[in-house]
Amino acid sequence: MEQFAYASPKNLKDALGMLGSDWNQAAVLAGGTDLISMMKEYIVSPKTVVSLKGIKKLHGISQHGSEVRIGSITTLDDLVSNQVIRSQFPSLVQAAMGVTSPQIRNIGTVGGDLCQRPRCWYFRGGQGLLGMKDGKSLVVDGENRYHAIFGGGPAYFVSASSFGPALVALDAKISVSSPTANRVVAAKDFFLSPKDDKTREITLAPNEIVTEISIPTGMTNATYEVRHKEGLDWPLVTASVALKMSGKSVTAASIVLGHVAPTPWNAPAAAQSLAGKTIDESVAEAAGTAATQGATPLSQNDYKVQLVKVAVKRALLTAAGIYQA
pLDDT tens-digit series, residues 134-155? 889 999 999 999 999 999 999 9
Domain assignment of residue 216, yes or no:
yes
Largest CA distance in the chain: 59
* Residue 261, pLDDT score: 98
* pLDDT of 164 higher than 90: yes
Bond into 154 cis (ω within 30): yes
Domain assignment of residue 27, yes or no:
no
pLDDT tens-digit series, residues 215-229? 999 999 999 999 886
Domain assignment of residue 325, yes or no:
no
pLDDT tens-digit series, residues 228-254? 866 667 899 999 999 999 999 999 999
How far is the C-alpha of 21 from the C-alpha of 201, rounded, in Å?
A: 17
* Residue 296, pLDDT score: 97
* Residue 238, pLDDT score: 98
Beta strands 209-216 and 67-71 are antiparallel
* Residue 33, pLDDT score: 86
Domain assignment of residue 291, yes or no:
yes
Domain assignment of residue 23, yes or no:
no
Q: Degrees (nearest 5) of the Cα angle 264, 268, 273? A: 135
* Residue 76, pLDDT score: 96
Domain assignment of residue 300, yes or no:
yes
Average pLDDT over residues 207-217: 98
pLDDT tens-digit series, residues 99-144? 888 888 999 999 999 999 999 999 999 999 999 998 899 999 999 9
Q: Which helix (H) or strand (E) holds 210?
A: strand 209-216
* pLDDT of 323 higher than 90: no
Query: Can you give the CATH number for the domain in which 302 is found?
Result: 3.30.465.10
Domain assignment of residue 98, yes or no:
yes
Domain assignment of residue 165, yes or no:
yes
Q: What are phi and psi of 319, to 5 degrees?
A: -60, -35
Q: Is 128 left (phi over 0), alpha (psi -120 to 50) or beta?
A: left
Q: What is the mean pLDDT of the chain?
A: 95
Residues near 194 by Cβ (< 8 Å), separated by ≥ 6? 129, 130, 154, 155, 200, 201, 262
% of residues, the chain, pLDDT over 70: 98
Number of separate domains in the chain? 1
The domain in which residue 291 lies consists of 58-319
pLDDT tens-digit series, residues 276-289? 999 999 999 999 99
DSSP 132-155: EETTEETTTTSS-TTS-SSS-SS-
* pLDDT of 64 higher than 70: yes
Neighbouring CB atoms inside 10 A of 172's CB total: 25
Between the alpha carbon of residue 56 and those of residues 4, 72, 178, 228, the distances in Å are 24, 11, 18, 38
* pLDDT of 271 higher than 80: yes
* pLDDT of 166 higher than 80: yes
* pLDDT of 260 higher than 80: yes
* Residue 325, pLDDT score: 62
How far is the C-alpha of 149 from the C-alpha of 160, rounded, in Å?
A: 15
Specify whether the CB–CB gap between 129 and 118 falls below 8 A.
yes
